[in-house]
Amino acid sequence: MIIPLLKPLLLLTLFSHTLASLTPKSGSEHLLIADTGVGHRSRPVTTWRTSLRGLSTIGTNSLNLLNFGNPTPENQPIGSSGLAVDRENGHVYVATGEGIKRTDMLGGNNVTIVSESATSLAISQSKLYFGIQSTGLIKRANLNGTNVEVFLNVSTGLDYSYTPSYIPAKASPGGIAIDEKQGWIYWSSVTFPEDLSSIRRASFADVEKYGAQNVTAEVLVENSGYPGQMRVIWDGDEGVGRLYWVERARYTNSPTALKRCTFSPPRPSTPKPNGGYVYTPETIISSVTHPAMFFKTDGVDNMNMSITSFTVDNASGRLWFTAMSNIRVMWAKLVGMGIDGANATWTVLNENVTDIGIPVGVEYVP
């Protein structure tokens, strides 16, 4: 029999043990997810705020670590577009509609370090790189948000077909990846129409030599759909470097895919007349090759869920990606698979939006 006075202590102890088992912590591998949240819809839906979530690498033990923005009666989200982790210093960076937020690994100490709304984030050599959609600029700052500077102009000019009050860039950086080993910055050049989008890169040496406005970008992949997040992954055993990127679905019936190409050594590729290569990408998984994985209907429209983000554990050869549909009805998936390409098996780890939200960014934390 439990003595009545000890019951509160026992309950507190049980709660503490449960929380400790669910909370991501140092030395315990887990995933972090940036959830853009759900706002008002044309049909009544549950709404929730933009959040940072943590869960295990098998999709269980989900926790809402932090809600962004001020609470409102309707729980209107401020929105999110990306996520980056600084493992060395124990910080998480989330691109939101109210600027770039920095927290610790458990969602504490939330501060806004950059006021601009970014479309993409990358961390390299104690610098934060972020892309701005409206201006087509890649900017760079210290990890605390100070000393913001224009690192590279990737806009390819301005589009004057819009109203005079809104003249956006012709191209914007939908994703950024940095190859520290060979000194390249890669970005997904997003355009409209989307069949002009491409994967591009420039060397840090050229940026330093010619300046942010005068660097000639190398086009690596043409007609890349609607490209987004990207990562450079090196295979240490083979000495092979690959670039992985997401091709999102711009419309409800557009294809979505996760692709990669081998850039060091360059294969398979076609030499260009003025030097360099046009790379032939390899499709890891797509809505064309695996339609059942991505197809959904809400009773009105048939639509493809869109791959939004991915992360890898290169040491174990694991890859996770998130997909979502965020129109009248919200769907989301967290999928685990091998890193080795089209023949890899995959497993849906979680498709409960209560657990993973509407994911726009995912990061592996060892």
Global pTM reads 0.88
d(CA 129, CA 150): 10
User: φ and ψ at 18, to 5 degrees?
Assistant: -65, -45
Q: What is the pLDDT of residue 76?
A: 86
Write down the pLDDT at residue 195.
64
Burial class (CB in 10 A: 0-12, 13-18, 19+), 313: middle
Q: What was the pLDDT predicted at 334? A: 97
In angstroms, the CA 239 to CA 219 distance is: 23
Q: Measured between alpha carbons, how far is 287 from 291 in angstroms, rounded to an integer?
A: 5
Whole-number average pLDDT of the chain: 84
- Quick: pLDDT tens for 301-317: 777 889 999 999 998 98
Q: Give buried/exposed letters for 354-364 (b at 16+ CB in 10 A, else e).
A: ebbbbbbbbbb
CA distance 294 to 290: 7
**Mean pLDDT confidence for 284-296:** 89
Instruction: Please tell me the distance from the alpha carbon of residue 54 to that of residue 106, in angstroms, as a whole number.
Output: 8
Which tens digits make up the pLDDT trace of 90-115? 999 999 999 999 999 999 999 999 99
Domains of the chain with CATH codes: 30-365 (2.120.10.30)
Q: Which residue has the higher pLDDT, 18 or 254?
A: 254
Q: Is pLDDT above 90 for 344? A: no
Distances 271 to 89, 180, 347 between C-alpha atoms, Å = 41, 24, 38
pLDDT in tens, 119-169: 999 999 999 999 999 899 999 999 999 999 999 999 987 776 766 667 688
What whole-number percentage of the chain has pLDDT above 70? 81
Please report the pLDDT score of residue 292 as a whole number. 87
Q: Give the mean model confidence (pLDDT) for residues 164-189.
A: 89
pLDDT at residue 48 is higher than 80? yes
Q: How far apart are CA 134 and CA 171, in angstroms?
A: 9
Q: What are 199's strand-pairing partners?
A: 188, 221
266-267 and 257-264 as β-strands: parallel, antiparallel, unpaired? antiparallel
Q: How confident is the model at residue 18 (pLDDT cuts 50, 70, 90)?
A: very low
Mean pLDDT of the region 34-55 = 85
Q: Is the pLDDT of residue 215 over 80?
A: yes
Taking CA atoms, 150 is separated from 132, 176, 212, 215, in Å, by 10, 14, 7, 13
